[in-house]
């Protein structure tokens, strides 16, 4: 497994010392790093980050765009042409930084492209503007994976790209091989999606470019430890990414606000290792035969098999 975790959770502990954070990652057995752009890299050239990571046997998976106060009324879809142009420029700069630091994936979450009131935005105009911006980013960096991370709400009441359906429609219109999706487990629960459904649809089309694994109760972006609230849904999700031979990084997007960040990461590693072990013990082929029966009783018996296999 290719594993990464939230660098933000470790930075306060180590007083924003990247070398100490990377050393801790190495000790935990993580192999990859995702950096927020531009907040994590403002003090470092790409070559410096690459050298620090290599010294700790780490590799940059990619960068994730983080838009701040200037963009609170929208990023790529902002009605102000200067602001939307700046958002587009940030995405291109992030792609350059990612490439130079040895990364492969640029993750774009448009947290502010959305609306809070009826009659607030021109939906078709914003749709076209965002679509065209993604086309421009994809063509600017054809050697990188450009990944759309969707979320139904927060910080806006309604996010513009809010679901697997709208993300899929957007991918269809962008029509570029190097544009796909990042699935955030909590975000899907918030939308009342079944995470495994999205893993199957995007995975079967080679459009699954990133995974943010966590857990929650569906009403908020809880960022709980893996498998703590919905273990069977997590098992099903892991089954489908295994089925479609996802070879990207699994990013632990959990929020250790009260918990010790190192211990939480260790628990996430233990949990995902155990869940994958359970899938192996029951068997991918057997799981598929149960799915093919389309029988709720058989599916419930499969969950019993998962429980007994872990003993």
Are the C-beta atoms of 254 and 247 separated by less than 8 Å? no
| Helix segments in the chain, DSSP class H | 18-28, 46-55, 81-100, 123-140, 164-174, 185-190, 195-203, 231-243, 261-282, 284-293, 296-309
- The predicted pLDDT at position 163 comes to 98
Is residue 28 classed as helix, strand or coil in its secondary structure? Answer: helix
- CA–CA distance, 92 with 266 (Å, rounded to integer): 35
Contact indicator for 154, 109 with CB cutoff of 8 Å: no
Residue 167 makes CB contacts below 8 A (sequence gap 6+) with 148, 150, 161, 181
Yes or no: say if 242 and 280 are a contact pair by the CB < 8 Å rule.
no
Query: Whose CA is closest to 173, among 148, 203, 200?
Result: 148
pLDDT at 16: 72
Write out the chain's pLDDT in tens, 311 residues.
Answer: 999 999 999 988 887 789 999 999 999 999 999 999 999 998 899 999 999 999 999 999 999 999 999 999 999 999 999 999 999 999 999 999 999 999 999 999 999 999 999 999 999 999 999 999 999 999 999 999 999 999 999 999 999 999 999 999 999 999 999 999 999 999 999 999 999 999 999 999 999 999 999 999 999 999 999 999 999 999 999 999 999 999 999 999 999 999 999 999 999 999 999 999 999 999 999 999 999 999 999 999 999 999 998 65
Predicted local distance difference test score (pLDDT) of residue 227: 98
Give the pLDDT score at 309: 87
Q: Calculate the alpha carbon distances from 282 to 3, 205, 286 in Å.
A: 23, 26, 7
């Amino acid at each position: 497994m290719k594993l990464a975790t939230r660098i933000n959770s470790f930075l306060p502990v180590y007083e924003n010392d990247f070398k100490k954070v990377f050393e801790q990652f190495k000790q935990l057995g993580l192999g990859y790093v995702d950096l927020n752009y531009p907040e994590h890299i403002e003090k470092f050239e790409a070559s410096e980050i690459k050298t620090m990571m290599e010294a700790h046997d780490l590799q940059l998976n990619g960068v994730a765009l983080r838009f701040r106060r200037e963009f609170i009324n929208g990023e790529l879809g902002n009605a102000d042409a200067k602001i939307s142009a700046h958002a587009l420029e940030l995405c291109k700069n992030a792609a350059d930084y990612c490439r130079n630091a040895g990364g492969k994936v640029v993750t774009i979450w448009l947290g502010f492209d959305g609306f809070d009131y009826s009659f607030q935005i021109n939906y078709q105009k914003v749709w076209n503007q965002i679509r065209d911006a993604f086309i421009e980013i994809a063509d600017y960096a054809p050697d990188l994976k450009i990944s759309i991370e969707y979320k139904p709400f927060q910080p806006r009441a309604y996010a513009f790209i809010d679901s697997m359906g709208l993300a899929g429609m957007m991918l269809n219109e962008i029509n570029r091989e190097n544009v796909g999706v990042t699935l955030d487990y909590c975000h899907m629960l918030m939308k009342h999606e079944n995470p495994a459904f999205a893993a199957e649809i995007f995975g079967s089309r080679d459009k699954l470019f990133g995974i943010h694994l966590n857990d929650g109760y569906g009403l908020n972006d809880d960022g709980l430890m893996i498998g703590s609230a919905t273990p069977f849904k997590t098992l099903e999700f892991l089954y489908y990414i295994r089925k479609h031979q996802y070879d990207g990084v699994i990013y632990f997007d959990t929020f250790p606000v009260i918990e010790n960040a190192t211990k939480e990461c260790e628990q996430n590693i233990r949990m995902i290792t155990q869940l994958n072990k359970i899938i192996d013990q029951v068997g991918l082929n057997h799981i598929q035969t149960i799915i093919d029966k389309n029988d709720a009783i058989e599916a419930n018996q499969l969950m019993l098999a998962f429980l007994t296999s872990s003993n």
